Amino acid sequence: MTALAGQMMHMPLLISSLIRHAARHSADTEIVSKRVEGDLHRTTWAQVEKRSRQVAQALARLGCGLGDRVGTLAWNGYRHLELYYGASGSGLVLHTINPRLFPEQIAWIANDAQDQVLFFDLTFLPLIEKLAPAMASVRHFVLMSDRAHMPAQTAIPGLLCYEDLVQAEDGAYDWPALDENAASSICYTSGTTGHPKGAVYSHRSTVLHAYGSALPDAMDCSARDVILPVVPMFHVNAWGLPYSGALVGAKLVFPGPHLDGKSLYELFEAEKVTFSAGVPTVWLGLITHMKAHGLKFSSFKRTVIGGSACPPAMMKTLQEDFGVEVIHAWGMTELSPLGTLSKLKSKHDSLPHDAQQRLLEKQGRVIYGIDMAIIDDDGRSLPWDGQASGNLVVRGPWVIGSYFGRPESPLVSVDGEPGWFPTGDVATIDADGFMQITDRSKDVIKSGGEWISSIDLENIAMAHPGIHEAAAIACRHPKWDERPLLVVVPKPGVALTREDVLGFFEGKIAKWQIPDDVVFVPEIPHTATGKVQKLKLREQFKDHQLPAA
Ligand code: AMP
C-alpha cells in the first residue's frame, strides 16, 4: 500500500530564502556594527542582501564551486553577516573558525575542512601571516577591510581586499535552487580532548533551527526586537541569531571585538538593544562595570544565557538589579546549538517566587524539533521524576548524525532503539520536561561512590558577595577516591579566607558535599568559547594536598 501523496508545493528550506525574506519585508531595518577599525557602521537588510549577492559573485570569480569550504576568522559584524549569506546562499560551505583556539589548532581545522578561501578581520593579520604557510588548502586569503586598511607589506602571498572584491561585482546574481539537505556551514567542537570534530549543518537544519529558536518559549524574537549577539559568530553561528534575526526581521547590533563591560553597555544604550545572548562569563564584565558606575538599562529586556551553567546569583542580579529577564538555555555545537530553554508554563504562575526561580535555574524544556531522554550506562531510559540522573541523549532534525570526515557513528541506542546522540552531559528531567544539567560527565566529582555536582558547588560559591568566579574540580583522595577542591577568584580588593568560603556552604548543601579545600587564584583559565577549562585546572592542581587527606 502506498500512502496518498501530499499536494503541497515543494519549496526547499534554503538559507538564501531567509535573506531574501529580510530584504523584501524588513528592507530598511538596520544592521549596526562596531567595526574592528574602531568606528560604527550602519547598513540595512536590503543592503546586506545586495552585498551578499556580490560576495557570491566574488567567490565564484575566485574559482569556488558547489560544496567548497570558505573559512572565516572574524568578529561579529556586517561583513561576516554578508559571508554567512553570500557563501552558504550560493552553495558553498561557510566554516567559521574560532580565533581563540591555539594557532596550531586553527591551522589544523582549516586543513581538515579543506578551506579554499580564508576571510579574516584586521585583528588577525599577524596571526594569519604566521599560519598561512601551514594552511595548505587555502588558495586565497582575503582581508575583511577596505583599501585604506590594507598593509603596505605582508608575508601573505597575494593578499586580497574584501571591499575591492565586493565592489568589483554588480550583484546581478540569482540565488541558486539548492537541495535543502546540502551542507551550508561547518563548526568545529572545541576539542578539549583530542582533535576538534566538525559538525556539518544543512540548509534545512539551519532554517528549521531558526524557526524553532524564534518561538515564544525559546528566544521569543520579533520584528520589534533589537538583537545584540554577544555570543560570537564563530561560536555555533552566534546561536543562530544571524538567521533567526533575518527570519523575524529584527534589527541586529554587532559589537565587533569590543566586548568589555563599558563598550557593551554604551552600545546597548545607544542602539536601544532589547535582546541579547551569551555565555555567563561575558556578563561578569558588564555587571561589574554597571555596578561600579551605578548604571541602569533603558531598553534591554531579556537575554539568553547558556554555553555553561548560569549561576543563580548572576540570574538574580540581572533580574532584580537591572530588570533583565534571564532565559537559561542549554545547547551544543552538535545541536546547531539550541536544545532547551527555561520558560515557565502557566501552571507555574501560582507558585511562590522561590519555586519559580528554581525552575528557571534549570536548563529548561526542549523546543519542538529536539527529542531527549536520560539513560543509564546500559542504555535503559530513566524516569522523568526530577530525581533520577543519567546520560542525556537527544535526536532531531538539527542534531548531527555523524562528524565531518569520520566514518564511525557517534550515535547510541535508547531501550534498544538506535539513533540518539550522546551529549556527554549528565542530567535530570522532571515530569513537566524541565531538564537540569548536573554536570559534564567528565567533570562530576566521584566521592566514595557518590556523585557531587561541580555545577551545584559553583552556583553556591558564585552567590558569595566576595567571589568573582569559582570552579569546582575533583582532587585525588586516598580514602574517597575524589573530593571537591574549589578554585576561587576573589573580587578586586576583597580579602577572603578558606574558612569564609567553606562556611558559606554550611546549610546550603549536604555536609559531605562541601569542598575539602579552597585555593585562591588571580584568574581561572577559559576555553576558546569562554567556558572554564576544567581539564587545565585539574592538571594544575593534580598534586594539591587536601588538608584531611
Ligand atoms: P559547545 O559545543 O562547545 O557549545 O559545548 C556544549 C556543552 O556545553 C554541553 O554539552 C554542556 O556540557 C555545556 N553547556 C551548554 N549550555 C549549558 C548550560 N546552560 N548549563 C550547563 N552546561 C551547559
pLDDT in tens, 142-179: 999 999 999 999 999 999 999 999 999 999 999 999 99
Of these residues, 291, 446, 491, 542, which one is catalytic? 446
Q: What is the pLDDT of residue 427?
A: 97
CATH number, domain containing residue 203 = 3.40.50.12780
Q: What is the pLDDT of residue 444?
A: 87
Q: Do 494 and 424 fall within a single domain?
A: no
Task: Give the end of a domain, one of 440, 470, 502.
Answer: 440
Identify the H or E element spanning 329: strand 325-331
Does residue 407 fall inside a structural domain? Answer: yes
Does residue 6 fall inside a structural domain? Answer: no
Q: Do 61 and 131 fall within a single domain?
A: yes
Q: Do 427 and 453 fall within a single domain?
A: no
Q: What is the pLDDT of residue 441?
A: 83
Q: Is the CB of 454 under 6 A from ligand 1?
A: no
State the total domains in the chain. Answer: 3
Does residue 472 fall inside a structural domain? Answer: yes
Of these residues, 163, 192, 325, 451, which one is catalytic? 451
Q: What is the pLDDT of residue 193?
A: 60
| Residue 334 falls in the annotated catalytic set | yes
Q: Is the CB of 309 under 6 A from ligand 1?
A: yes
Strand ranges in 376-464 using DSSP code E only, listed in sequence order: 390-395, 412-414, 417-429, 435-440, 445-447, 450-452
Q: What is the pLDDT of residue 531?
A: 86
| Residue 446 falls in the annotated catalytic set | yes
191 band by pLDDT with thresholds 50, 70 and 90:
low
- Per-residue pLDDT tens over the stretch 74-118: 999 999 999 999 999 999 999 999 998 889 999 999 999 999 999
- Ligand 1 nearest-atom number relative to CA 236: 4
- Per-residue pLDDT tens over the stretch 456-505: 999 999 999 999 999 999 999 988 889 999 999 999 999 999 999 999 99
Q: Do 77 and 185 fall within a single domain?
A: yes
Q: Is the CB of 213 under 6 A from ligand 1?
A: no
List the one residue out of 198, 209, 274, 277 whose CA is nearest residue 238: 277
Quickly list H helices, 69-202: 78-89, 103-113, 125-131, 162-167
Contact of 244 with 210, CB cutoff 8 Å: yes
Does residue 468 fall inside a structural domain? Answer: yes
Q: Do 428 and 450 fall within a single domain?
A: no
Q: Is the CB of 308 under 6 A from ligand 1?
A: yes
C-alpha cell at 366: 526542549
| Residue 451 falls in the annotated catalytic set | yes
Interval between CA 378 and ligand 1 midpoint (Å): 23
- Arithmetic mean of pLDDT over the chain: 95
From 426, 440, 443, 535, give the residue whose CB has the most ligand 1 atoms within 8 Å, as the site to mutate.
Answer: 440
Q: Do 408 and 484 fall within a single domain?
A: no
- Per-residue pLDDT tens over the stretch 262-272: 999 999 999 99
Interval between CA 479 and ligand 1 midpoint (Å): 31
CATH number, domain containing residue 465 = 3.30.300.30
Q: Do 358 and 472 fall within a single domain?
A: no
From 308, 455, 527, give the residue whose CB has the most ligand 1 atoms within 8 Å, as the site to mutate.
Answer: 308
Q: Do 398 and 480 fall within a single domain?
A: no
Task: Name which residue sits closest to atom 1 of ligand 1, judged by CA.
Answer: 332
Contact of 221 with 244, CB cutoff 8 Å: yes
Q: Do 28 and 164 fall within a single domain?
A: yes
Identify the H or E element spanning 206: helix 203-214
Task: Give Cα 459 distance to the centre of its chain.
Answer: 20
Q: Do 422 and 452 fall within a single domain?
A: no
| CA 493 – CA 470 distance, rounded (Å) | 16
Contact of 487 with 524, CB cutoff 8 Å: yes
Find the domain containing 375 and state its range. 337-440
Residue 151: C-alpha distances to residues 145, 146, 158 (Å): 11, 11, 12
Q: Is the CB of 276 under 6 A from ligand 1?
A: no
pTM: 0.92
Task: Name which residue sits closest to atom 12 of ligand 1, judged by CA.
Answer: 440
Task: Name which residue sits closest to atom 7 of ligand 1, judged by CA.
Answer: 332
Residue 515: C-alpha distances to residues 427, 470, 482 (Å): 21, 12, 11
Does residue 495 fall inside a structural domain? Answer: yes
Does residue 22 fall inside a structural domain? Answer: yes
| CA 449 – CA 180 distance, rounded (Å) | 48
Q: What is the pLDDT of residue 549?
A: 59
Q: Do 37 and 167 fall within a single domain?
A: yes
Q: Is the CB of 332 under 6 A from ligand 1?
A: yes
